[in-house]
Amino acid sequence: MASSTTTKEIDRELPPLLRVFKDGSVERFLGSSYVPPSAQDPDTGVSSKDIVISENPLISARLFLPKLEDRHQKLPILVYYHGGAFCLESAFSFLHQRYLNIIASLAKALVVSIEYRLAPEHSLPAAYEDGWYALNWITSSKSEPWLMNHGDFNRFYIGGDTSGANIAHYALLRVGGGVDHLPNQVKISGALLAFPLFWSSKPVLNEPVEGHEQSSAMQVWRFVYPDAPGGIDNPLINPLAPGAPSLKVLGCPKILIFVAGKDELRDRGVWYFDAVKKSGWNGEVELIEVDGEEHCFQIYHPETDNSKNMISRIASFLV
């Protein structure tokens, strides 16, 4: 008896990340597997659990609580936005579970990793909206026991890697712009921006002119936000675009930026660092470049010396 197979028709692709079919389904080629939270991680002793922040739209988070010295101990809080080009990865993935276990353990910090909606199922600006909603929920929550019993809201940090760092930057502008404020008068103590994803229609610093239109960042942005006003010069991806909010209003007193020497986004991180310094922003910004390393190396290979040094620097920032 002859067998028949049905081949789904491709609608659009973002090689090598994912493919969208005409029936609306999405096939992702990259990203680590989902793992459950742990009552106690055997390597770090960190406990984790999942919570729902919003049912509609669905926004959730994974919380990481390090071993406590006493049951009344208060810890700095880090609200973390994962990377993945706005279309990959998860707060519940193996890579981020492992990475944030280490961060929580070394920093003695309560980490809240946000599970925001991904493109292409939810085009931007959905991720920004989810990130902002989650930040407001966390600072207003009176029902989440780990936050209430162990979170020190006087040491309240935000951050992320790549697209997650971009989302954190957006939140800083909203907090500092004079219109939006976090509940309960919570102030952001600092921001951690690792390999931040920014781009523009024109190359900067040492970025090559040839091939700029076909750059990975350009292709990603067009895919995840096809209707972006201004395209690649939308202020969400180009913080120095005409009409973009001034970096002078960034809503925290200190920012730590990491770039990697072999990362395509390396010059963008340096460019952003220089722009913050020149903006008139009244805070401390530090740039750390890790020579010879690739994009997000500390997440993929946390066991290396460079990764350990980077994570130790992050831990010392979260005080």
In the predicted structure, residue 178 carries a pLDDT above the cut 90? no
Q: Quickly state the pLDDT bin for 57 (edges 50, 70, 90).
A: very high
Q: Any residues with CB less than 8 A from the CB of 120 and at least 6 apart, and which?
A: 12, 18, 20, 26, 87, 223, 224
In the predicted structure, residue 113 carries a pLDDT above the cut 70? yes
**Phi, psi dihedral angles at 21 (to 5 degrees):** -100, 160
Mean pLDDT of the chain: 96
Q: Any residues with CB less than 8 A from the CB of 185 and at least 6 apart, and which?
A: none
pLDDT tens for residues 87-99?
Answer: 999 999 999 999 9
Q: Please state, in angstroms and rounded to a whole number, the distance separating the CA atoms of residues 194 and 137.
A: 24
pLDDT tens for residues 136-156?
Answer: 999 998 889 999 999 999 999
Task: State the residue for tokens 């973002």.
Answer: 14
Q: Is 5 a catalytic residue?
A: no
pTM of the predicted structure, to 2 decimals = 0.96
Q: Is 263 a catalytic residue?
A: yes
DSSP string, 77-91: EEEEE--STTTS--T
Element (H, E) at 111: strand 110-115
pLDDT tens for residues 235-280?
Answer: 999 999 999 999 999 999 999 999 999 999 999 999 999 999 999 9
Q: Any residues with CB less than 8 A from the CB of 41 and at least 6 apart, and which?
A: 47, 48, 101
Of 87, 93, 91, whose CA–CA distance to 79 is shortest? 91
Amino acid letter, residue 143: S
pLDDT (mean) for 158-168: 98
Q: What is the largest CA-CA distance in the chain?
A: 75
Cα-trace Rg, the chain: 20
Q: Please state, in angstroms and rounded to a whole number, the distance separating the CA atoms of residues 7 and 118.
A: 25
CB 126 within 8 A of CB 92: no
The one catalytic residue in 41, 122, 130, 162 is: 162
The one catalytic residue in 122, 150, 169, 295 is: 295
In the predicted structure, residue 6 carries a pLDDT above the cut 70? no
The one catalytic residue in 263, 267, 274, 301 is: 263
In the predicted structure, residue 5 carries a pLDDT above the cut 60? no
The reported pLDDT for the residue numbered 3 is 43
Q: Is 6 a catalytic residue?
A: no
Q: Please state, in angstroms and rounded to a whole number, the distance separating the CA atoms of residues 253 and 45.
A: 31
Q: Please state, in angstroms and rounded to a whole number, the distance separating the CA atoms of residues 30 and 122.
A: 18
Tell me the angle at which helices 94-107 and 305-317 cross, rounded to the nearest 10 degrees: 60
In the predicted structure, residue 65 carries a pLDDT above the cut 60? yes
pLDDT above 90: percentage of residues in the chain: 93
pLDDT above 70: percentage of residues in the chain: 98
The reported pLDDT for the residue numbered 4 is 41
